[in-house]
Amino acid sequence: MKIRDFPDGYGLVSILLHWGMAVLILGLFALGLYMVGLDYYHPWYNAAPDLHRVVGLLTGLLLLLRLAWRAASPRPRPLGREWERRLAAVVHHSLYLLTAALVASGYLTSTAEGHGIPVYGWFEVPALRDWGEGMEDRFGELHEWFAWAIIALTALHAAAALKHHYIDRDATLWRMLGRVPARRSTTEEERR
């Protein structure tokens, strides 16, 4: 498998970043749903939010790495009809923006009272400032909205990949799984 992207497929780095971020975002969403229902005496009452914050910070770092890699690596040729390619671009850009907004709103929720985010005693991510009373809840509401929006877009993204795989029978999903099937005899233009 190639490291960099190439005209017919994605390289190892793009594939690992794509699936790694998918796992982190879905895992953070599940952990977020779980931890808001915990009562004060639950053993995970403090541990779950700590884990959520640290993995959220890691997701932010991976987003920066992913954007840098995307800028440095050539992209595979697009598949699908013109309107599908345009919609895919809008969804991909929206996923990047929502991920950034999700990380930022999580950071602001965690640091709203002026306290940094400790990372298991290794170091602390400092707060920008004390945002004042009640801002933790406001940032938290934004964080929840962004989380639901990213889950909805992720579902649309997954549905589109499955549509390409099972209905269009093109290589869209295979390319993100690291496999490039042999080209079919009909080209994209011939199918339109």
Q: Is residue 5 part of a domain?
A: no
pLDDT mean over 15-39 = 95
Structural domain includes residue 4: no
Residue 106: band (very low, low, confident or very high) from pLDDT cuts 50, 70, 90: very high
Report pLDDT for 185. Answer: 37
Assigned domain for 3 exists: no
**CATH code of the domain containing 22:** 1.20.950
Report the pLDDT value the prediction gives residue 80, as an integer from 0 to 100. 85
* Residue 189 within a domain: no
> Secondary structure of 104-148 in the HEC alphabet?
HHHHHHHHCECCCEEECCCEEECCCCECCCCHHHHHHHHHHHHHH
| Total domains present in the chain | 1
- Label residue 117 by pLDDT band (50, 70, 90): very high
| pLDDT higher than threshold 90 for residue 75 | no
| Residues spanned by the domain of 147 | 12-182
The answer, yes or no, to whether residue 93 has pLDDT greater than 90, is yes
